[in-house]
Chains A and B, each alone.
Chain A
Amino acid sequence: MSSSDTTRDPFLKLIEAFALGALDADERASVEAHLAAGCSECAQALDQARWLVSQLAHLAPEAQPSDILRGRLLKTVRAEAAANSAPARSSQQRIPFWMWGAVAAVVLFALYNLREAQSLHEAHRQMQAALDEQVELQKKSAQELALARREALILTDPKSIKIPMPAGKAGLPELHATWHAAFGIVIYGEKLPVPTGNRTLQLWLIPKTAGAKAIPSVNIRPESDGKFHLLIQEPPDKQSDTKLLAITEEPEGGSQQPTTTPIWVGSVAGK
């Protein structure tokens, strides 16, 4: 079962209040994170809830804005419309169709227009490319924001489980894991030694079932300054079925089963 299946109903109940803007910050953040995670049912419900909320405008008595406002708006709009159409009119007026030189003029004009069109086409292509770049940047920012919100939710939601992960070797710092059943796991730590060569650190989920094999998860190297920061949006097993989280050092690319003794271990089931 995916996380959206387990959390869909509670979020649907919040959609009207979300559309109204009445949710407090924590609930609003959780709904935003849920929508950012791509729940289409809630997104559709939100579009319709906005319609319902918009009907509340009818509670306000209609009122007539001043004629000055109407005049000012129309003046601006007419000026902008005229500015847009002016170049087209002046181009037409240049055609001297009543003269013997009409053919030459028309040809010249056509060539001129062709050149202008090419130039405009190029300008349009460049603008489109710039626009596409901006759209990509916005998409990337939106994705980063969604991840940050998800992480904040995992770290602050009272339903999350805090899992200290002390090191089994002396002199190594403790890692801190936080696991939300629906939104994933965040693990962070500082001042970690960077593994030698191409070796990496790998997370494992140790099932509660006796004799079951460790389930491999992501592998990552700490930053050069020793910072370690990991967000696992979809852990490979359920929180309720997991006994321990463990981190080992593995060859580059990770392993299917641990090849070294775990360095950090944290108890999930013991909480």
Chain B
Amino acid sequence: MFLAVPTPSESSGVSLDAALVQRLLQRDVRAFEQLYDRHSRIVYGLVLRILQQASTAEEVVQDIFLQLWRNAAQYDGSRGPFLPWLLTLARNRALDHLRLKSERQRRREEQSEQLPPIVVSAPDFEAKLDDKRRAARVRELMSALQPQQKRAIELAYFEGLSHSEIAARLEEPLGTVKSWIRNGLLKLKEGLQTTA
């Protein structure tokens, strides 16, 4: 089978990622190296924030990137950008570890060498900001929320807690927690949408 090798455009991080993933299909080690160097800091930062332990975080990051190398075909560039897909995958893996999923179960999943089918579609306004500016904007928008509202979203995202668990942790009514999370996420979405 002939596979075309697209020339990555340095001006577009999204198309560059897609091109690098295409090259992984041809076992291009240099492409893997570039993808790792581009994204390992944010992936490791996320996994470390969830697991709070450097050695375990590195194990999870290693697992994620090796699965990517071995199963690059499971990323479908036509369905959405690469980085949000990778971050979704990384968060799920880290939360699995956090929930003390049994070692045997984890090993079975790792041996299957299958990445879970996750579709992450970017909205139209994604192209308004590059990753760096969007990261700053996300932090800015989240800081503008009430501290407890921000805390509720962080507990869900970084600790994998449910509405009820967050309500118990924060000693707040369940309905309040649900509203905080929904309204907070909608504010984040609107804020990113209206960013010029």
Contact = CB atoms under 8 A, between A and B. Distances in A.
Whether chains A and B associate is yes
Interface of A: 13, 16-17, 20-25, 44, 47-66, 69-70, 72-74, 76-78, 80-81, 84-85
Contacts of B134: 55, 58
B192 A59 contact: no
A65 B119 contact: no
B5 interface: no
A77 B58 contact: no
A58 B138 contact: yes
B148 interface: no
B45 A73 contact: no
A92 to B, nearest CB: 17
Contacts of B61: 65, 69
Nearest to B65: A73
B163 A23 contact: yes
B79 A55 contact: no
A62 B42 contact: yes
Nearest to A28: B162
10 nearest A-B residue pairs (beta carbon): A60-B49, A58-B135, A54-B84, A47-B121, A22-B156, A62-B45, A65-B44, A62-B41, A63-B45, A58-B138
B95 A21 contact: yes
Contact of B162 (A22, A73, A80): A22
Interface string B14-35: 0000000000000111001100
Contacts of A57: 42, 45-46, 87, 90-91
A184 B118 CA distance: 29
Interface string B125-143: 0100000001100110010
Interface in B70-92: 70, 79-81, 83-85, 87-88, 90-91
B153 A56 contact: yes
A74 B33 contact: yes
A23 B181 CA distance: 11
B138 A85 contact: no
A51 B123 contact: yes
B20 to A, nearest CB: 13
B141 to A, nearest CB: 9
B45 A51 contact: no
A17 B167 CA distance: 14
A50 B84 contact: yes
Q: Give the residue among A20, A23, A25, A56 with the most B Cβ atoms within 10 A.
A: A56
B40 interface: yes
Contacts of A55: 84, 134, 138, 188, 192
